[in-house]
Structure 1
């Protein structure tokens, strides 16, 4: 399989480590269900990327599951975080949103869906640590604008639409300053149901 996914690692880095572009995420070690769903989204138009769509167009669902399982099984070291610029006030705002959310804006804490350690929840909820600052802000912007979509109910669109650009920047700034825990694998389950219905991760409820 490692030889068959060379088209993936050409952009996502050797073994899917992604240590080059700030806009190309690491795929090694991500939950298999999440990776599979994102490939479906690229292939079928929920996520827009011409290169990914063209690459995945001829591939069957079963083959996409094999690719997802391959990268999900890779347990590799994580690089040192590369944070963007931030003030103490911005970081405090980011931590507040990540750990507690914003009740007034009906924004749940990131930890309520992505796990207390923010390493994700198997099989379909990704971790939020170890991602480049620019990638996080770009994805939140895409969710907010509707250029990145998921199965209805699209919980991340709802969350991102309630966040101001400053709040999104605060979340990204705080997340990119957090070290990866020693146990960086996605947890098996959340301690409580997710606060929002999420079509891309019904198992987490």
Structure 2
């Protein structure tokens, strides 16, 4: 299964990005502190407002995702639950408070989504629709929308949206959970779910999700799911001043 992530092609940006992100560590001695927009300009350049398709991979969208989710991913990279050479190095020496500040900045940025992909052929589309909207009770797989929201745009505070993502990227992330190269804080519910997907299920749900048009309101649902089908781990947020 193809894995989409940062590649050595982007490694040259690490020193520049790390320098920008580390500015707060010495900010107290400076007469003027750069704005957050300036400090994360390199992040924006790599991820783009809609995610960036590269010749050999995909850099995912981070604009508008819940701050809790973005913060969790930054800490996961810091703790090597997720592995990407560029990201692991960039966040290695940043405080959790600053990681959360970065997460909050990008959560507040709302930009248009790219057009949806073409609908997959049947019966692949039907299986993808079933997994996304109903799940598979016999296999112990909950519906995607039971956690990611009815509009599939995510749910505050920690659940990301699934609309606007390429099929290959969704497949790659599910595959990474299946083979153990992507982890989350325990209990890692997505690793559990991914392990139960069989045959062409990964391709089916990824193709169906990628073909869904973005709703008029693309913001994450404001209220948490009342009765989520599974318990998912989350990194404790840093105390705010």
Shorter-chain TM-score above 0.5: yes
Give the number of equivalent residue pairs.
Answer: 199
Pick from 127, 150, 173 the counterpart of residue 161 of structure 2: 127
Q: Which residue does the alignment assign to 1:146?
A: 180
Q: Secondary structure at the match of 2:37?
A: coil
Q: Does 1:161 align with 2:203?
A: no
Q: Tell me the residue number matched to 1:102.
A: 136
CA distance in structure 1 between the aligned counterparts of 2:203 and 2:223, rounded to whole angstroms:
28
Is 1:20 aligned with 2:65? Answer: no
**Could you tell me whether the CA contact under 8 Å between 2:147 and 2:225 is conserved in 1?**
no
Give the drift of 1:70.
Answer: 0.6
Q: Distance in 2 between matches of 1:144 and 1:119?
A: 23
Unaligned runs of 5+ in 1: none
Whose Rg is larger?
2
**Aligned CA-pair RMSD:** 1.6
The 1-side partners of 2:220 and 2:212 are apart by 16
The gaps in structure 2 that reach 5 residues or longer are: 1-35, 237-241
1:10 and 2:45 aligned: yes
After the TM superposition, which of the residue ranges 188-197 and 100-109 deviates more from structure 2? 188-197
Q: CA deviation at 1:82?
A: 3.3
1:58 counterpart (63, 69, 93): 93
TM-score, normalisation: structure 2: 0.79
Q: Is the 8 A contact 2:69 2:158 kept in 1?
A: yes
What are the Cα deviations for residues 118-162 of structure 1, in whole angstroms up to 9, with x where unaligned? 111111000110011111000000111111001111100000000
